[in-house]
Structure 1
Amino acid sequence: MVIALAKEHRRRIKRRLQQRPDKLAELKAILLDFEQFCYRMLKIKDKSGAMVRLILNDAQRRYAAKVFEDLEAGKPVRIIILKARQMGFSTVTEALIYYFTSLQEAKNAFIVAQSSDASSNLFDMFQLYYERVPSVIQPMTRKNNAKKLTFENPAIRTADRRRNPGLKSKITVQTAESRVLARSDTIHYLHASEVAFWPAKKKKRHLLSLLAALSKEPGSIGIIESTANGMEEFKQIWDAAVKGENDFSPLFFAWFEMPDYRKPVPPGFELTEDELELKAKYGLDDEQLQWRRYTIRNDCGGDSRQFEQEYPSEPDEAFLLSGESIFDNKFIKRLKEAIKLKGAIYEIDFVKEQVVPAHAGELVIYHLPEQGKRYILSADTAKGTEDGDYDAAYVIDARTGEMCAALHGKWDTDLFGKKLNTLGLYYNTALLAVENNNTGESVLNTLFNTCHYPLLFLHKKGKLGWETNKATRPVMISDFKEAIRDELYDIYCPELFGECMTFIDNKGKAEADSGCHDDRIMAYSIALQVRQVADKWFEWFKKKQQQREESKHEENNGGAGWI
C-alpha cells in the first residue's frame, strides 16, 4: 500500500459505511487503485467544457504506472517527461498529487507553472477535483488564499482544532514568474510544469530552490515535465537523465500516442514521401497523418520543423529547432545516427605515464596509435569559471584527418597538462596544440616547463600554443563548417555533433547557445587548422631527433677514437 489513509478519512468512512460492508469494501478497493480513483472520484472539464470522469489514456497510464512502480520499490520518485503538446500530463500529475495529498496527513505539494495564467488553470483543476470528489473522502479545508488548498479543520475554537486537526496537508500553486519559490517548507510532492518555457533568467535559480526543498525520503515525488523549447536547462536535465547522470527517469511520449490526434481522411488523400516514411517507421495510420498534415498547415504556419518541436516523434526531434543554428540540425542528427564506430573507454595515468582501459574514464579511443603514423593532438581549455566550458581535446590522424581519440572533463590546469603530455607521447609524440587563451597559458606552462613535451605547436615565434583571435576564429569556424557540411573527415564523437546542434549565429558571431557548450567544437577546429601546417612541424621534429642521435653517436664514437 503506497498511501497511509488519514485518521479524518478513516473516522468518516467508519461512521458512514460501518453498516454497509459491501460499500466499504468497494471504497477501499477504489482508494487502493489510482486509475479507479480517477474514474470514480475525479471530474474534469473536457475540451468542449463538459464535466466528465477522468479516464486515463494509454500514455497517462504508462506514466502513472512508473510512479507507483518506484513508490512500491521504496524509492523517491524522480521523473522527467518530454512530451508532445496537450497530452494531458498536467491533468494526471495533478490527479496524482491530489490523490496523495488529500488522502494523507502532513503532506506538502508544490506546483509551479510557466505563467500566471497557466498556474490559475492548474489551481482551478485542483479546486474542481476537491469540489466534485464524494463527500466521504472530501477533507476539511480552511479559508485559503488565491492559489492554495489547505486541508485543515476550519473551526474557530482551538480546542476543536486540537481534537480534530484535519489533514494538515496543503497544495500550493505558483508561477515561475515569481521572484522567489519554496524557500521554507519541505516539499513532498513537486510538479514543475512546462519548465522549458519558464523565464530564462529565473529558471536555473528556481529549479535549484525547488529541488533543494524537495524531500529526499522514499515516497516523495518530483515531476519535471515540458514540451521542448530549444536547447536550455530542461534539455540539459533531460540529457543527464538519459545518460544516467542524475536520478530522474526519462519518459518520452510521442504525439501519436495521444488517441485524439487523428482526423478523418478526405477523398483523394495521398501520402507524400515523408509521410510514407513516417508511416513505415512508427506504424501510423492515415487518420494520424491527416491530423499531422492539418496541424502543420494550420497551427505551425506550414513549418514541419515547428511541428517536430511541438509534436515530436522521438526525443532528439523535439530539440532540433534551436535559435539561429548555423547547421541544419536534421542533417546533424543524421550524421550522429550514422556513426558506426563506437570508441573504447580509457583512463590516462599520468603518474605512470600510461593509457589504460577502464570501465569509466575521461578518454574515448576510436583507433589505437599505429607505428609510423603521425598524429595531431589539439586542446581547448576551460575558462576557469563555475559555469565555464569543459577541457576538451581530440587526436586526429595527420594524413587522413580521421578522428582517433577524444578527451573531455574538468581538471586543474596542471593536471590537464600532464594528461595531455601522456596522451601525446602515447600517440607517437603527437603534434600538440593547446589554445593559449584564458587558462591555456597555465596548461602550456606545465607542458613546457614541467613535462618538457618535445613537440609543442607555436602559433608564432616565441608564443606557445594556438591563438584564437579576431583574425583566426572566423577561419576556424568556416573550415569547421565545411568539414561537417561536406563530411570531409571521419568523425566518431556523438557529443561533437551534439554541440553542433546548439551552435548558433548570435548577431554574426558563431557560438554556443545560452547554457550550452562549444569546447569540443573549438578543440576539433584547432586540430583542423594545425593539420594544414603539420608537415613542417613533423619534419622539424624529425631533423631534431636525427641531430640528437647523431650528436649522441659522435659523443660515443668520438670518445673511443682518441684512445
Structure 2
Amino acid sequence: MKDFRLWAKNFCRIIDNDGNSVPFVLNPEQEQFIKNMEKYNVILKGRQIGFTTLSLAYMLYSAITKPDTSYMMMTHHNKVTQSLLRKLKRMYHSLPHENEKYAELFPKLDLSNRDELSFKNGSRIMVATAGGEDSISGNTFQLIHFSEMGKYDDGQEEIMATAIPALAKNPDSKIITESTGMGYNFYQELFMKAYRGKESVWKAHFYSWLAKAYQKQFKHSFDEAEQWFRLHNNGRRLTYDDLEHDERILKDKFKANYRQLMYRRYYIETNSLEKFKREFPTTPDEAFQTSNVSVFDTNKIVERLQHVIPPLETKEIYDQLPDTLKPYINKNLFIYHLPKKGMRHYGGVDVASGTGGVNDNSTMSIFNADGQQMASFYANDIPVYKFAEIVDSLGRFFNYAFLCVERNSYGLPLIEKLRKEYHYMNLLKQKIFDQKGKRKLQLGFQTTKITKPIIINDMKENFELGMINIECVQTLEEMKIYQESNGKMNNKRGNGLHDDLVISVAMACQAMKQNKYYVDI
C-alpha cells in the first residue's frame, strides 16, 4: 500500500490487447515517468503508450490511500471521457474491496455517476470534457491530468490558467499534461519551451515510437507488418541493404530494429508518412511537423534543431556588453558567439510597434562574414525609439555591423533615428527609381509583393545550401510555419505565431548579398 507499482501489480487489473483481464504491470516508460514525475509535467508521446491508463490507476491508488483528496481527468471529447470513466470503474471493481481481509484498505463507493467516483473515505475522482462546463473552478485537486490536450479545440491556455490555482497547496500535488503532437498551439509551445530548457517550471517528458513499451504493446501489429513484408519479398525479412536513406538514419542513429522499421513501412503504406510522424514521432520536432506547405525545407529545419548551440551564459558576456544591452541578455537578446576583431558582420532588422500583447516582435539577427549567426533579438514590448538605441548598440558591438532595416511602417522612423540621432553610418541603401525615372538610393529595404518572394527565396537558398548557419531556436520554429498560400508568403495564422525573426534573417541575407561596409573597422 506504500508503493504504487506494487499496488498496481498486486491489486489492480486492466484489459490487455487480447481482451484478457491481467494485473497492471507498469511498462518501462510508465516506470520511468513515475520515477521522474515532478509537480508540473508535460508529456509528448506516440499513441497508445499507456499514460492515461497509468494516471487513472495512480489517481485510484492515491484516492484510496489519501482520504479527503480530489482528482480530475479531462479529455478532448465526451465519448473519450465516458470511456475513461468506464475504465476507471472497471479498475476499482477489480480491487479486493469486497474481501473482509482488506475492508479497511479499500474504501467502498459513496457515489458513482457519469461525472465522478466518490469514496467513503471522502476522496473522489472526477472526469470532464474540455469545452464543457467549468469543472475546475471552486475545486481543489491533488492531481489534474489533461489527456490529449493538443486536440482541445480552443481555450487551452485558459484551461491551464484555471487549473494551476486549483492545485492543492502541498508538495505532492501535480499536473500532468499529455498529448500526441497536433500542430502549433498552446500545448506545443508549453512542451517545446520545457524541452528546450527555457526557464520553464514544467518538466518535459518525451517518449518516441521506439520506446520499449511498443515491443509488447504492438506485438500483433509488428507481426502483421512482418507478414506483409515477407509476402511481398519472397518470404524474407527486411535487411540493412533494403533500407532507404531515412530508414538507415533510424537504424544507425536511433537504434530502430527491423521489426519496427517493417511496421513503419506498413503504417505508411496504409496511411501516410506525415501521419506516422505525428502519431509515432522519433523526435519532438517531428511530432509537431505539419503539412503547412512550408516555404523552407522542414526536414532541414528539424535536423538543424538537433545541433543548435545554446547562447552564451550571461556571466560570460555581461561585463563586455554596453549598458544599453545588459537588461536584455538571455531574455530578449541571445548571443551565440563574440565578434572577432576586424571581421565584418551583417545584420537584419524588422521593426514593430512595441505595444506588447500578442502583437508582432521587433527583431534583429546578426551573422558574421562566414554566415555564422552571432546573435538574435526579439521583443514586442519595446517602443521604436528604445529599439533604435538597442539596434545602434548591438550593431556597434558586432564590429559596426552593416545593417539592412526593413523600412516598411515603423522601420522608417527607426532608420531616421539611427542616422540622425545615433549617426549610424553603416546602413544598407536600396536602389529605386523616382517619379522622373532617375535612379536614387534610399536607406533601408522596402518589401513589396515583388521584393518579398525574392528575399525569402535568397534566405531559403542560403539556409538549405548551408551558406548561413542559424542558431536561434525561435527563428527555426518560425521558419517551420512560414508558408506560401494564394501567392502570399507569411506565417501560419494564430495567436503567438510570428514571422518577424524570419524577416530579420532575410534582411541580414540581403546585407550579406550587397556585401558593403561604409565604415572602417
| TM-score grouping bracket, smaller chain normalisation | 0.7 to 0.9
SS of equivalent to 2:259 = helix
Following superposition, the deviation at residue 286 of structure 1 comes to: 2.9
Could you state the TM-score of these two structures normalised by the residue count of structure 2? 0.82
Q: What residue number does 1:387 align with?
A: 358
Q: Which residue of 1 aligns with 2:436?
A: none
Query: Matched residues in 1 for 2:62 and 2:351: separation?
Result: 49
Contact 1:381/1:392, CA 8 A, preserved across alignment = yes
User: Which residue of the partner structure matches residue 378 of structure 1?
Assistant: 348
Check if 1:82 corresponds to 2:39: no
Does residue 499 of structure 1 match 2:474? Answer: no
Checking the alignment, whether the CA contact within 8 Å between 1:112 and 1:191 is kept in structure 2 is: yes
Aligned to 2:100: none
Q: Deviations over 1:455-503 (max 9, x none)?
A: 4456678976443343432332222222223333344444433322222
Q: Name the residue aligned to 2:251.
A: 279
* Range that drifts further, 100-109 or 485-494: 485-494
Distance 1:292 1:531 in 2: 43
Q: Return the offset for 1:112.
A: 0.9
Q: CA deviation at 1:149?
A: 1.6
Matched, 1:231 2:184: yes
- Contact 2:70–2:142 (CA under 8 A) maintained in structure 1: yes
Q: Which residue of 1 aligns with 2:118?
A: 150
Partner of 2:73 in structure 1? Answer: 111
Residue number among 324, 332, 337 corresponding to 1:366 in the alignment = 337
In structure 1, list runs of 5 or more residues that go unmatched.
1-30, 71-76, 152-165, 546-563
Question: Which range is displaced more, 80-89 or 124-133?
Answer: 124-133
Aligned residue in 1 for 2:237:
269
- Equivalent residue for 1:208? 161
CA deviations 1:109-129 (Å, max 9, x no partner) are 121101111111111122112
Would you say 1:479 and 2:458 are equivalent positions? yes
Displacement after TM superposition at 1:34 (Å): 0.7
After superposition, where does 1:5-404 map in structure 2 within 5 Å? 31-67=1-37, 70=38, 77-135=39-97, 136=103, 137-151=105-119, 166-178=120-132, 180-199=134-153, 201-244=154-197, 245-257=199-211, 258-260=214-216, 261-262=218-219, 263-264=222-223, 265=226, 266=230, 267-271=235-239, 272-274=242-244, 275-298=247-270, 301=271, 303-337=272-306, 344-345=312-313, 346-347=317-318, 352=323, 362-371=333-342, 373-383=343-353, 384-397=355-368, 401-404=371-374
**1:527 matched to 2:480:** no
Residue 526 of structure 1 aligns to which amino acid in structure 2? M
Count of residue pairs brought into register by the alignment: 481
- Structure-to-structure mapping, 1:399-548, within 5 angstroms: 401-413=371-383, 414-437=385-408, 439-440=410-411, 443-444=414-415, 446-448=417-419, 450-457=421-428, 465-513=444-492, 514=494, 515-533=496-514, 535=516, 538-539=517-518
Alpha-carbon distance, 1:190 to partner:
0.5
| SS of aligned partner of 1:344 | coil
Summarize deviations over 1:366-415 as a string: whole Å, max 9, x none: 351432x4433221234534123433212234x65553433334552233
Summarize the Cα distance change of 1:375–1:286 in structure 2 as closer, same or farther, 3 Å threshold: closer
Measure, in 2, the Cα distance between the counterparts of 1:347 and 1:408: 18
Q: By how many angstroms is 1:133 displaced? A: 1.7
CA distance in 1, matches of 2:482, 2:150: 19
The one-letter code matched in structure 1 to 2:122 is: K
* Inter-partner Cα distance in structure 1 for 2:124 and 2:165: 19
- Tell me the SS of whatever aligns to 1:142: strand
Q: 1 CA distance for matches of 2:482 and 2:40?
A: 30
Contact 1:391 1:410 in 2 (8 A): yes
Whole-angstrom distance in 2 between the partners of 1:522 and 1:285: 42
1:52: how far off?
2.2
Structure 1 range deviating more: 37-46 or 273-282: 273-282
Cα distance in 2, alignment partners of residues 338 and 38 from structure 1: 41
Kept in 1, the 8 Å contact 2:274–2:291? The answer is no
Note if contact 2:311-2:334 (Cα within 8 Å) is conserved in structure 1.
Answer: no
Q: Percent identity?
A: 24
3-state SS, counterpart of residue 48 of structure 1: coil
**Cα distance change on mapping 1:278 and 1:380 into 2, 3 Å:** same
Amino acid at match of 1:89: F
Structure 2 Cα separation of the partners of residues 462 and 286 of structure 1:
62
**Equivalent residues of 2:56, 2:88 under 8 A apart:** yes
CA distance in 2, matches of 1:197, 1:249: 20
**Letter paired with 1:221:** K
Report the CA distance between 1:32 and its aligned residue: 0.8
Deviation, 1:89, is 0.9
User: Residues 465, 212 of structure 1: CA spacing in aligned structure 2 closer, same or farther, 3 A cutoff?
Assistant: farther
CA distances 1:158-191 after superposition (whole Å, capped 9, x unpaired): xxxxxxxx43322111111326452221222110
Alpha-carbon offset, residue 530 of structure 1: 3.8
Q: 2: CA distance between counterparts of 1:58 and 1:185?
A: 33
In 1, distance between residues paired with 2:133 and 2:281?
Answer: 32
CA contact (8 A) 2:403 2:511 kept: no
Structure with larger Rg = 1
Task: Point out where structure 2 has 5 or more consecutive residues left out of the alignment.
Answer: 98-102, 433-439
Decide which structure has greater helix share. Answer: 1
- Aligned partner of residue 6 in structure 2, secondary structure: helix
**1: distance between equivalents of 2:416 and 2:132?**
48
| Letter paired with 2:387 | F
Note if contact 1:512-1:518 (Cα within 8 Å) is conserved in structure 2: yes
